Amino acid sequence: MSSKSILSIAMLGAALIVAGASHAQQKPNPFDVVPDKMPNDIPYGAPISLERADAVLAAAVAESRKRDWKLICAVVDSGATLVSFKRMDGAQIGSIQIAEHKARAAAKFRRETKAFENGVQAGVTYLLTLDDVIASRGGIPIMDSDKLIGAIGCSGGTGSQDEVVAKAGIAAMK
């Protein structure tokens, strides 16, 4: 056996030892933890009525106007189906589908879309593989008596602007 072959085998062996040692030192995967309770185990309620959806949107649009923001807001029911929609004059057209998407994701996954944004920023990239996820704040569930009856989604500004307006709409429910 040549000295080059012996050296190559020795280097390969050393690389395998280093790789094995680094694998043994890896941190445990936090997703291997099995929680006792289901996260976001919020029951779905009866679908939000058109009257209540319009009241949520009226409050959201009023907040948006007060701040001179041109947004698009949508309310879906507990089944993630569009109930009511407002497109302010001058709002960017691309935000139509985004507002609806935020509302649907908040209803389907029973959480604010800000949770997805935070997760992606923290490196939880598997979230991007889930159908209908949108990692942008501005989608918030609408609750009544601890049951999810719908969700609002706002888009057209920055994520923080969208969230402020959506929360103003939610506040109208209280």
Contact 149, 78 (CB under 8 A): yes
Binned at pLDDT 50, 70 and 90, residue 17 comes out as low
* pLDDT value of position 26: 80
- In CATH terms, the superfamily for domain 50-171 is Haem-degrading domain (3.30.450.150)
Give the domain ranges of the chain. 3-32, 50-171
pLDDT band, very low/low/confident/very high, at 18 (cuts 50, 70, 90) = low
Instruction: Report the alpha-carbon angle 55-56-61, nearest 5.
Output: 95
Give residue 6's pLDDT band: very low, low, confident or very high (50, 70, 90).
low
Whether 22 shows a pLDDT value over 90: the answer reads: no
Q: What is the pLDDT of residues 89-128, one digit of tens each?
A: 999 999 999 999 999 999 999 999 999 999 999 998 888 8
Alpha-carbon distance 84 to 47, whole Å?
A: 12
Task: For residue range 151-168, list pLDDT tens digits in order.
Answer: 999 999 999 999 999 999
- Exposed/middle/buried for residue 99 (C-beta within 10 Å: 0-12, 13-18, 19+): buried
The pLDDT score that the predictor gives to residue 2 is 62
